[in-house]
Structure 1
Amino acid sequence: MSLEDIREQKTSKGVYIVIGLLLIGMAGFGTSQFGTGSNASQSALLSTDDAEITMFQYNNAFRNVQQRNPDMDAAEVRQQVLSLLRQRLALADYIQRYPLAASNPQIDDAIRNDITFSENGAFSEEVFRRVIGVSPEIYRRNISNDIAMQALQVAVATTAVVSQAELQPFIELSNMSRDISVAKIARQSFTNTATDAEMENYYEANKTQYMTPEMVDIRYIDFNPSAIAETVVLNEQEMADLAMPDRQVDYLIFSDMGKAKEAYAAAKAGKTVENIKTDFIDAIEDSGDLGRVSRKINADSLIDQVATDAIFSLNAVGEVTQPMDTENGIAFRHWTALLKAPVWQSKTADCRQWMANKIF
Structure 2
Amino acid sequence: MLEAMRENASGWIIKILFAVIIVVFVFAFGMSGLDTGNDPVMATVNDQVITRAEFEDAFQRAAEGLRKSNPNVTSAQLQSPQFKQMILGELINSRLLLGEAAKLGISASDEEVFAAITRLSVFWNQQGQFDRNLYQQALRGVRMTPAQFEANFKNEYISGKVQDMIRATSQVTPAQARQIYDWVNEKITIDYILSSPAQFLAQTEVTEDEVKKFYNENEDKFMVPEQVQVRYLTFTPKDLATYQKVSDEEIADYFAAHKDSMVQQEQVKARHILIMVKDSDTETEQKDAKAKIDNIYALAKSGKDFAALAKKYSEGPSAPNGGELGWFARGAMVPEFEEAAFATPKGGISEPVKTQFGWHIIQVEDKKEAQVKTLDEVKEDIRQILAEEKASEKVTDLLDQAMDRMVSGMKLDAIGDELGMLAVTSRPMPEKFLPQAFGMTPEAAKVIMAIPEGEAHQTPIAVDGGYMLVEKAKDIPAAPMPLEQVEVLITNNLKQEKATVLAQKAAEDILAKLKAGETDGLEARIKASDPFARNGNVPDLGQSPDLANAAFGAKDNNWLAEPFVTPAGIVVARLGKRIPASNAVWEQQKQAWIAQASRNYENETLNGFMTGLREKASIEITRPDLLN
- TM-score clears 0.5: no
TM-score, normalised to structure 1, is 0.37
- Higher RCO structure (Cα 8 Å, ≥6 apart): 2
Give the strand-richer structure, 1 or 2: 2
Query: Is the radius of gyration larger for structure 1 or structure 2?
Result: 1
